[in-house]
A and B are shown apart, each in its own frame.
Chain A
Amino acid sequence: MHDESIQRQQLLRAMQRRTFLRRSAYGIGGLALASLLEGRAAAGDAAGSAPNQVSRGFVNPTHYPVRARRIIHLCMAGGPSHLESFDYKPELKKLDKQPFPESFTKGQQLAQLQNAELKAAGPFCEFAKHGNSGQEISSLFPHIAKIADDICIVRSMHTEQINHDPAHAFMNSGSIIKGRPSIGSWLLYGLGAETDELPGFIVLTSAGKSGLQPVSARQWSSGFLPTRYQGILFQSKGDAVHYVGNPAGVTRETQGAVVDEVNRLNRLFAAEHADPEIQTRISQYELAFRMQMSVPDLTDFASEPQSVLEMYGVKEPGDGSFASNCLLARRLAERGVRFIQLYHRAWDHHNNIANDMPRAALDVDQASAALVRDLKQRGMLDDTLIVWGGEFGRTPMGQGSGRDHHINAFSIWLAGGGIRGGMTWGRTDELGYKYVADDQAMHVHDLHATMLYLCGIDHSRFSVKFQGLDARLTGVEPCKVVRGILA
């Protein structure tokens, strides 16, 4: 990196901190702090720590070496059935249509099946072993099956929330109380972004044809952290980012002239009125203008060769499909976005699961696998963590022709960014009802702790004071980094 560029980066960093410490009436406390921090970061460098330990956020240097510099979270919204994806249960198949043993379910929370007569529902599709590792993957996911040796399947996931809305909140923020930051916001706060031209936390959504559930913007909220850490939802219609397009009749040059004039006048005012907020405002206008230029370039897929489009199964680039979003996710990852979250709303299969789940799988299978392969061939998989999974699983008991929500067991997979590929972690009982509470059990907080660890952060030391408490992503109950799945 050229000196000039480093200087610019440092200036930017200082400015970002100043923004952050905005409420000091002078911003002087902020400035002093910022320069102190700068000094600390520099000292960290001098002390010979690995370059990837220098972050641009508030955890600086990082607590641990950084294995994952970015995360792509593929949210299968609605809650895919583990029993037809990654958790094969031959015993359940044998019990198909038989009464479900009460010993499993007594006194436990169910959703729509509460008070109903419970019958086992065997998996409707076949499983086979794949890759050198021989991971069991269902026939609904033939492309993911081909990357079996790259992914780590976790079958012992469990959560605490049985309805979509709070379950998403729990998966994203570790809490169901509103106003808590989502994991993307935490990461951005802790590490900053590696781009100044795009938001550091970006959300993309797509939808299937059935099994849809709404998702709320609170799922990518920065909660009590400043709004600059919130996830920015890319729109499928109109401007990708709200208000990123110039008004009609305003060219890039005109817009540039307006921004220049705004900043010239802001500087004139600042000379008379020492308010550090004005300096921050000036830098934000510069950033905004750069963002206006970089977003169109980001969403212009013209440079992507046909072979890449085919690998992902993109029919029409930018069509808002999951496949197109996966390709966009890779482009975002390349540009230094810290946390990228893709929601595919298609997995709430209360009925007709045998027809609808294969369709949802078809929506995501090829592109999910392509994303892993693409990152791998670009040498980016090593430092990109991919997490694939829903907010909960589904009951091994049938609900008519479908399955109800289930919190005691679900499956996810992870790849890249310090994860050991080709392994299966954790297990459920013989009917897939509940995770086995051994040392391979994985609560949502354990997943969060592990994700943070891979990003170089100790979850127990990563807190922000809120309402008198040291609030953490991982809450107050003990939880653990799941080291067994690390490379």
Chain B
Amino acid sequence: MPRSPPIARPRVIGTMNRIASIAAAMFALTAGAMPHAAAAADRVDFDRHIRPILSDKCFFCHGPDQKHRQADLRLDERDSAVADKAIVPGKPEESELIRRITSDDADETMPPPESHKELTPSEKTLLRRWIADGAEYQAHWAYRPLAKPRVPRLNDAGWVRNPIDSFVLEELRSRKIEPSPEADRATLLRRLSLDLTGLPPTPAEVAAFLDDTSPNAYERQVSRLLASPRYGERMAVPWLDLVRFADTVGYHGDQNQHVFAYRDWVIDAFNRNKPFDQFTIEQLAGDLLPAATTEQRVATAFNRLNMMTREGGAQPKEYLAKYAADRVRTVSTTWLGSTMGCCECHGHKFDPFTACDFYSLAAFFADVKQWGYYADAKYARTPELAGFGNEHPFPPEIEVASPYLQRRQRQFEQQMIALAEATARHAAAQPASRDKFNGWQRAMREFLAREPSGWSTPQPRVASKALKPAKKSDADEPEQIDGPTIEADGRIVFRGKPQDNPIALPLDVPWLAAVRLELLPHAAHGGKIARGEPTIIKPAVRIKRRDGKPAKVAFFYADADARDPKYTQGSAVVGVHGGWQPAKARLTERQSSVWLVERPLKVDDGDQLEITLAGNTIGCLRVSVSPIAGVDPLDASLATELRTALGAAESAAATTTASSPVNLAYLGSTACEPKAFEQFRQLQRSWFECRRGMAEVMTTVAVEPLMTRVLPRGNWQDDSGEIVSPAVPHFLPQPTNSGDQRLTRLDLARWLVANENPLTARVVVNRLWKQFFGAALSGVVDDLGAQGESPSHPELLDWLAYEFRASGWDTKRLVRLLVTSSTYRQQSNVRAELRDVDPANRLLAFMSPRRLEAEFVRDNALAIAGLLNLDLGGPSVRPYQPAGYYANLQFPNRDYVAQLDDRQYRRGVYMHWQRTFLQPMLANFDAPGREECTAGRLCSNTPQQALTLLNDPTFVEAARVLAARLLVDAHATDERRIDHLLRLAVARPPSTAERESLAAFLADQRKHYRQHEDEAQQLLNVGIAPAATNIDAAELAAWTSLCRVVLNLHETIARY
């Protein structure tokens, strides 16, 4: 049966772009203007020709929505339409439908004028012919059971590489169109690399591919790229758009949320090629799996990615309704390709979804532990969130290991050790410093022999400060006069009201590197560590030299083995900052804190330490001091290791070269080598930032499900709607495990990927097709319903969907199928002779070029420049951003601080995603705010993009680093450098005309910057990358201009 082409319906003009088709519709571009689909000889096809007309023009009043139905007539069901005589099969003239659509009477004509809908003459003809043919209805294509279509057999002269090509070629042949030739190898590799990894190929990779004469050279490149960890980073981006992954909660104060571990899980899942069914189940219901792993719990952060609020006055119930609706929209778009959003208020106008379906789907998530309003308020008591403010996180969360943070922490450890070794070698090389080092070793050996733990607890003296006279009203009570008492092991027992008795401690350590405060349970306070509520402890410490004035001792860092957490911008503060708040829930246990001295001090005989604990309520305190400071104040192992190492060193009688613990302790505990010590502190700071390799992540915790009702017209205050149980949309095949038990998220997840569900495989394959070919097979990726578009190649879509599912949801296999097809390998040259037949290239007679997505525009430039940091995973990063961009953000106020280290150059997928103020570079290149599930990004072409590429410091810096890269080889000619530049950027050498133009431009720039050295210097200072010092500034600036040009080319930010 000949099929009408998908390209001809007027609403399909530029169907890749919904907007374009709208434009076409708005201007009533009729079928006359474009070649029409159902050419005279073709049979009218319900799915392709009729349903779109009925849906768009009739269903609004005569469709599935019962409440809005007019004249009790529905045209979405044949029986009903025939019974009402709207349609008389075979007899258009007797059909009321035809009479009405052709009527000139304003009262009768359909659609009614006030709907502003009009049928075109060709649409009327189609309806008439369809009724004349018998008015056959078809079940909507997307809801039909998925069956495996027969692959067409063609005489293809070797073009067909896999079934994709058969389907595509058959369609082309039916129109006497030949496919395009295969693209050249360099173009192919650049296309593959950008599509599979989001990064350009290096010139070496291109050269290797060009040299590879084996018959499967291309397939080997595909395998290489699919195996690259960059593949997961690339594939994650569209998924993160769907699930609305962001670093902030979105509503009102748009505070930070803990969620990067989920992003890393997604990347890892793609890299490990986790089957899509498992991928689905773990995200929706990983917590409900038997013996759920930590990773599966991380995956369930998916259920927590809805926007959340902490706006004062927000009603919990209202926001729970918003969160529920958001989840329904996300799940229905992501897996069902259906637009259920409208069913929050009423039945769907075009598809068979009802409001009951909407709330039944929402009910699956009624067990997700969450709060509508993430704080405790008088008008909405939430005891579990008592004390929560704007700096707090959004629980429930779990703490998980982050491989990235662990790797990074190890890196800093190794750097500290290397620094310590280098410092020791340096010290050993000079007599004076060698003596100092040896002296320290001797002193430490003695000290550790006396105090193996590394801590010394001198007997303190406590001044009994005069207490204020009691108030008159207290006159009856006895004056509390008993001051602190000192016990034999250095314990100080305080009594009475809060006071700040200064403690004096004779120092008996060779160096002062750390101070320890222990709070001990004491019988005087009922076995507790404090007198009442423990207040924040903030020791003010000074050292009193025997002969000198007291000097303040500053602390670099402190931490405690028990403390109540403190939060800033959603994260628990690392270590003790601004004072130690002992854990209020553990008052009968010992709690201790260790304070590292900013610059360790050499101690002389008679020196003493004075500690003041202002207004403290401590019960029993013991203060110890140590000459040893490890990296981590809570790690006691350094003293032991040092003792062993020093013992070994002595027995070997070799004091010039010491082992690591000795070197590390010397560097970190003495500050004897000031420059190295500064570097050590820097590394130590970075080490702390790694949070011991652990990270919090929001997770799903199942609780007793809340009751779910249908909300009449979506009104959360209306409790009159029926109570619903979890259920999948009523008209789709139902889950098999029916029974009396309430269905769970796990049932939903399993149903989504079950064989009986016709949608998921089609939806996923369709989206993936769009990712690789520019347009989806069914053009509207978020709507496979009646208002969507019937597929250009329905059998191909079904074949791929079936294949995907039958392969065990093997995503890499599917991707490999797509990119190894001949269809994919075609040239991207636009074919002028097809512009009228197939304006949107839906027949795939060539490869459609596409601009890169925002993240990859950035990655690409950084990669070309050689700046890209390829670290995998980890907390989101903060690259440059225009100053003051968060000025309108509050609760708390935010100041964006860019990270001025290697994290500056990380991939776009790791950029901090602030929902309300998305980083401007990302926003300018159409990245979505991820407030709402997004199935397909728009792709615009705006002056803001030009401004970004021209002036954003990221791109200017990339250009100057790239320029330095080209100038490294001092002997190369301009011509060779220009050649290399183009190969780096677009994987091809320049044409003669391009080369000449660039050379002339370079000459002008050279001349300019030679005359304006100051400008050259300024340009070379953009960004944090160090400027090359061995290259002439004017020369480097001129090449920077040239590199800016190349990074701004359309070809550079597009893939062909």
Interface, chain A (partner B; CB < 8 A): 19-26, 28-30, 32-33, 36-37, 40, 58, 107, 109, 111-116, 162-166, 176-179, 205, 207, 212-218, 221, 224-228, 232, 235-239, 241-251, 253-255, 257-259, 261-262, 264-266, 268-269, 272-275, 277-278, 280-281, 284-285, 287-289, 291-292, 343, 345, 350, 404-405, 460-461, 463-469
In the bound assembly, the distance between CA atoms of A205 and B349 in angstroms comes to: 40
B621, chain A: closest CB distance, angstroms? 42
Interface, chain B (partner A; CB < 8 A): 13-14, 16-27, 29, 33-34, 114, 116, 250-254, 307, 309, 311-315, 318, 322, 339, 341-342, 349-351, 377-380, 717, 774-775, 780, 782-783, 785-788, 828-830, 832, 835-836, 839-841, 846, 848-849, 851, 882-885, 887-891, 915-918, 920, 923-924, 926, 928-929, 931-932, 934, 938-948, 950-953, 956, 991, 993-994, 997-998, 1001, 1004-1005, 1008, 1014-1022, 1037, 1041, 1044-1045, 1048-1051, 1054, 1056
- B1008 proximity list for chain A (CB < 8 A): 253-254
In the bound assembly, the distance between CA atoms of A265 and B991 in angstroms comes to: 10
In the complex the two chains form, is A468's CB within 8 Å of B20's CB? no
Closest B residue to A320 by beta carbon equals B887
12 contacts between A and B (CB under 8 A): A25-B849, A29-B840, A37-B27, A115-B379, A217-B929, A227-B924, A251-B1015, A261-B998, A265-B1049, A274-B829, A278-B1050, A465-B21
In the complex the two chains form, is A165's CB within 8 Å of B717's CB? no
In the complex the two chains form, is B884's CB within 8 Å of A112's CB? no
In the complex the two chains form, is B1049's CB within 8 Å of A269's CB? yes
A167, chain B: closest CB distance, angstroms? 10
In the complex the two chains form, is A25's CB within 8 Å of B848's CB? yes
User: Contacts A26-B830, A214-B891, A249-B1018: A287 and B943 contacting too (C-beta < 8 A)?
Assistant: yes
- B952 proximity list for chain A (CB < 8 A): 243
- B839 proximity list for chain A (CB < 8 A): 24-26, 28-29
- A221 proximity list for chain B (CB < 8 A): 929
Closest A residue to B333 by beta carbon equals A467
In the complex the two chains form, is B929's CB within 8 Å of A19's CB? no
In the complex the two chains form, is A247's CB within 8 Å of B890's CB? no
In the complex the two chains form, is A30's CB within 8 Å of B14's CB? yes
In the complex the two chains form, is A468's CB within 8 Å of B1019's CB? no
User: Contacts A179-B932, A264-B997, A285-B946: A235 and B882 contacting too (C-beta < 8 A)?
Assistant: yes
In the bound assembly, the distance between CA atoms of A466 and B25 in angstroms comes to: 13
B955, chain A: closest CB distance, angstroms? 9
From B923, B951, B998, residue with most partner A Cβ within 10 Å = B951
In the bound assembly, the distance between CA atoms of A40 and B33 in angstroms comes to: 14
In the complex the two chains form, is B379's CB within 8 Å of A116's CB? yes
In the bound assembly, the distance between CA atoms of A445 and B114 in angstroms comes to: 19
In the complex the two chains form, is B1019's CB within 8 Å of A266's CB? no
In the bound assembly, the distance between CA atoms of A422 and B585 in angstroms comes to: 66
A238, chain B: closest CB distance, angstroms? 5
In the bound assembly, the distance between CA atoms of A339 and B785 in angstroms comes to: 36
- B1020 proximity list for chain A (CB < 8 A): 249
Report, nearest first, the 8 A-B pairs whose CB atoms are least far apart.
A468-B787, A249-B1019, A111-B313, A249-B1018, A23-B17, A25-B841, A237-B884, A216-B916
In the bound assembly, the distance between CA atoms of A179 and B307 in angstroms comes to: 13
A390, chain B: closest CB distance, angstroms? 15
B268, chain A: closest CB distance, angstroms? 28
In the complex the two chains form, is A29's CB within 8 Å of B20's CB? yes
- A464 proximity list for chain B (CB < 8 A): 19, 22
In the complex the two chains form, is B253's CB within 8 Å of A214's CB? yes
In the bound assembly, the distance between CA atoms of A291 and B924 in angstroms comes to: 15
- A235 proximity list for chain B (CB < 8 A): 882-885, 887
A475, chain B: closest CB distance, angstroms? 10
In the bound assembly, the distance between CA atoms of A247 and B957 in angstroms comes to: 10
Closest A residue to B786 by beta carbon equals A468
- B942 proximity list for chain A (CB < 8 A): 19, 227-228, 284
User: Contacts A22-B941, A28-B839, A114-B380: A254 and B1005 contacting too (C-beta < 8 A)?
Assistant: yes
In the complex the two chains form, is B1019's CB within 8 Å of A214's CB? no
User: Contacts A26-B830, A111-B315, A243-B947: A217 and B940 contacting too (C-beta < 8 A)?
Assistant: no
User: Contacts A249-B1017, A468-B350: A178 and B943 contacting too (C-beta < 8 A)?
Assistant: no
In the complex the two chains form, is A265's CB within 8 Å of B998's CB? yes
In the complex the two chains form, is B943's CB within 8 Å of A291's CB? yes
In the complex the two chains form, is B20's CB within 8 Å of A20's CB? yes
In the bound assembly, the distance between CA atoms of A205 and B884 in angstroms comes to: 12
In the complex the two chains form, is B888's CB within 8 Å of A33's CB? no
User: Contacts A112-B312, A242-B947, A274-B829: A217 and B1050 contacting too (C-beta < 8 A)?
Assistant: no
- A288 proximity list for chain B (CB < 8 A): 943-944, 946-947, 950
In the bound assembly, the distance between CA atoms of A115 and B379 in angstroms comes to: 6
In the complex the two chains form, is A280's CB within 8 Å of B941's CB? yes
In the bound assembly, the distance between CA atoms of A242 and B881 in angstroms comes to: 9
In the bound assembly, the distance between CA atoms of A218 and B924 in angstroms comes to: 14
In the complex the two chains form, is B379's CB within 8 Å of A162's CB? no
Closest A residue to B946 by beta carbon equals A288
- A29 proximity list for chain B (CB < 8 A): 13-14, 20, 24, 34, 839-840
In the bound assembly, the distance between CA atoms of A255 and B625 in angstroms comes to: 62
In the complex the two chains form, is A246's CB within 8 Å of B951's CB? yes
- B29 proximity list for chain A (CB < 8 A): 33, 36
In the complex the two chains form, is A258's CB within 8 Å of B313's CB? no
Contact of B851 among A218, A255, A277, A467 (CB under 8 A): A277
In the bound assembly, the distance between CA atoms of A111 and B830 in angstroms comes to: 58
In the complex the two chains form, is A226's CB within 8 Å of B938's CB? yes
B915, chain A: closest CB distance, angstroms? 8
- B775 proximity list for chain A (CB < 8 A): 23, 25
In the complex the two chains form, is A163's CB within 8 Å of B27's CB? no
In the complex the two chains form, is B17's CB within 8 Å of A24's CB? yes
In the complex the two chains form, is A268's CB within 8 Å of B829's CB? no
Known: A178-B307, A244-B951, A468-B785. 16 other contacts (CB 8 A): A20-B23, A23-B14, A24-B839, A33-B27, A239-B882, A248-B1022, A249-B1014, A253-B1008, A259-B946, A261-B997, A261-B1001, A268-B991, A343-B888, A467-B787, A468-B783, A469-B339
A186, chain B: closest CB distance, angstroms? 13
User: Contacts A112-B313, A247-B951: A164 and B1005 contacting too (C-beta < 8 A)?
Assistant: no
In the complex the two chains form, is A22's CB within 8 Å of B940's CB? yes
- A236 proximity list for chain B (CB < 8 A): 884, 887
- A465 proximity list for chain B (CB < 8 A): 18, 21-22, 25, 787
In the complex the two chains form, is B309's CB within 8 Å of A247's CB? no
In the bound assembly, the distance between CA atoms of A74 and B315 in angstroms comes to: 28
In the bound assembly, the distance between CA atoms of A107 and B884 in angstroms comes to: 43
In the complex the two chains form, is A243's CB within 8 Å of B1050's CB? no
From B309, B828, B1054, residue with most partner A Cβ within 10 Å = B1054
In the complex the two chains form, is A214's CB within 8 Å of B23's CB? no
In the complex the two chains form, is A163's CB within 8 Å of B313's CB? yes
- A281 proximity list for chain B (CB < 8 A): 941, 946, 1050
B731, chain A: closest CB distance, angstroms? 17
In the complex the two chains form, is A262's CB within 8 Å of B940's CB? no
Closest A residue to B1047 by beta carbon equals A262
In the complex the two chains form, is B940's CB within 8 Å of A228's CB? yes
- B947 proximity list for chain A (CB < 8 A): 241-244, 288, 291-292
In the bound assembly, the distance between CA atoms of A26 and B13 in angstroms comes to: 11
Closest A residue to B116 by beta carbon equals A461
In the complex the two chains form, is A163's CB within 8 Å of B309's CB? yes
B331, chain A: closest CB distance, angstroms? 15
In the complex the two chains form, is A274's CB within 8 Å of B27's CB? no
In the complex the two chains form, is A247's CB within 8 Å of B840's CB? no
- A238 proximity list for chain B (CB < 8 A): 882-884
In the complex the two chains form, is B309's CB within 8 Å of A227's CB? no
- B1041 proximity list for chain A (CB < 8 A): 250, 254, 257-258
In the complex the two chains form, is A284's CB within 8 Å of B943's CB? yes
In the complex the two chains form, is B882's CB within 8 Å of A226's CB? no
In the complex the two chains form, is B840's CB within 8 Å of A243's CB? no
A276, chain B: closest CB distance, angstroms? 8
Closest A residue to B836 by beta carbon equals A28
- B1044 proximity list for chain A (CB < 8 A): 258
Contact of A242 among B315, B840, B882, B1015 (CB under 8 A): B882
In the complex the two chains form, is A215's CB within 8 Å of B943's CB? no
